[in-house]
Amino acid sequence: MEASSFLCFCLVLLLGINAAGLSDQGVQHLPKRLFVFGDSAVDTGNTGKNSVQAWRPPYGSTFPGKPSGRFSDGRLLTDFIAAYLGMPSPTLYKARRVGGDRQRYGMNFAYSGTGVFDTVVMLPNLTTQIGFFEQLINGGTYRWSDLRSSMALVSASTNDYSFYLLRKGTLEGLNEFTGLVVNQTAVDLRRLSRLGVGKIAILGLFPFGCFPVIRQLLASAPSSCDDLFNRYSSQHNSLLRKAVDDINAELGRPSHVVMLDTYSAADSIMRHHNGLGPRFNDPLKPCCMGLNSSTACGSVDVQGKPLYTVCRSPASAFFWDLAHLTQAGSSAMFRYFLPTLQQFF
């Protein structure tokens, strides 16, 4: 057994996925390649080492034991879905020239901080990332048969709303902006479909008012999310769900595109847990925090002394930092999505 395959097998065991159940669901129909697009929720290291905190300790302390560009202590949803499909996490787009045989498992085009539209980071947005993918197809890296048996995982829009707020966008204008974001997302999903991708899964918007960074800015109560921002998240998801339904209806293929209900997953995990992983006793509190409002997880002073604290057990925390999940949090989200994915395949 190849080392990469063995690692995937071990991760499946760690996830607790029932191998017999997979065969019942028709494991032969699982996608053979995973193409990933979007932001830090799915970026496993494309973003440059000099530009993001995720390349500094304590990021990556759980997996792989050192910073790897993941905005977490360990694995992301990307890693868990790849393991479920029986493959290593797809090679990074920035490493495509040295990816070698791993390219056959797909590729990760995601960049942290990006959105459906341009954001403050000025890295490739969703449309541009899909453009990179199309160039590889046109260049012969992937064939039509490769694409038919593949899956695209898309995570976008969170940073669009963050950028909207940074630009001091008004709440009155948020309804119109939400429509623009969802409409462009639908354009991008249709493009992926036209390129021949067999299955497309897009993450819905996380309950925005529960992000520690938003609650910190709004000085929310420690044990509560902001209801107003959560309502706008729900509105985005309602429009996105309709867009997905419309795309499937146009194609006459009801299982071609699926929306993974990130909002309900996070709400269920934070409120009820439902056996999706460890019980997060204080789910809104991040594990890694700056010492004050001007520092963040990973910050150091001029002597390299950490200006942050890390909780004793990241495995018992849902949020890793002010805007990202722990490995345990991502694992719980994956477990929530698993029945949807099994039905999707």
Catalytic residue among 40, 61, 112, 150: 40
In whole angstroms, what is the distance from residue 144 CA to residue 254 CA?
21
Task: Let me know if 268 is a catalytic residue.
Answer: no
The two three-digit tokens of residue 292, written as one number = 């004050």
The one-character DSSP state at 260 is: E
Q: Could you give the 3-state DSSP secondary structure of residue 246?
A: helix
Catalytic residue among 150, 155, 157, 324: 324
Q: What is the DSSP string of 140-177?
A: TSS-HHHHHTEEEEEE-SHHHHHHHHHTT--STTHHHH
The two three-digit tokens of residue 54, written as one number = 């995720």
Question: Which helix (DSSP H) or strand (DSSP E) does residue 200 occupy?
Answer: strand 199-203
Question: Which helix (DSSP H) or strand (DSSP E) does residue 290 occupy?
Answer: strand 288-290
Q: Could you give the 3-state DSSP secondary structure of residue 29?
A: helix
Tell me the residue ranges of DSSP E strands in 27-83: 33-38
The two three-digit tokens of residue 330, written as one number = 């991502």
Q: Which of 109, 98, 101, 86 is nearest to 39 (CA)?
A: 109
The answer for residues whose C-beta is within 8 angstroms of residue 116's C-beta and 6 or more apart is 125, 126, 127, 156, 157, 160, 181, 184, 185, 188
Task: Let me know if 68 is a catalytic residue.
Answer: no
In whole angstroms, what is the distance from residue 326 CA to residue 32 CA?
27
Catalytic residue among 72, 160, 321, 331: 321
Q: Which of 304, 301, 303, 296 is nearest to 323 (CA)?
A: 296
How many Cβ atoms are within 10 Å of 150's Cβ, its own excluded? 21
The one-character DSSP state at 105 is: G
CA dihedral for 302, 308, 313, 314, sign (positive or negative): negative
The two three-digit tokens of residue 311, written as one number = 């909780």
In whole angstroms, what is the distance from residue 110 CA to residue 291 CA?
30
Task: Let me know if 40 is a catalytic residue.
Answer: yes
Catalytically annotated residues:
40, 321, 324
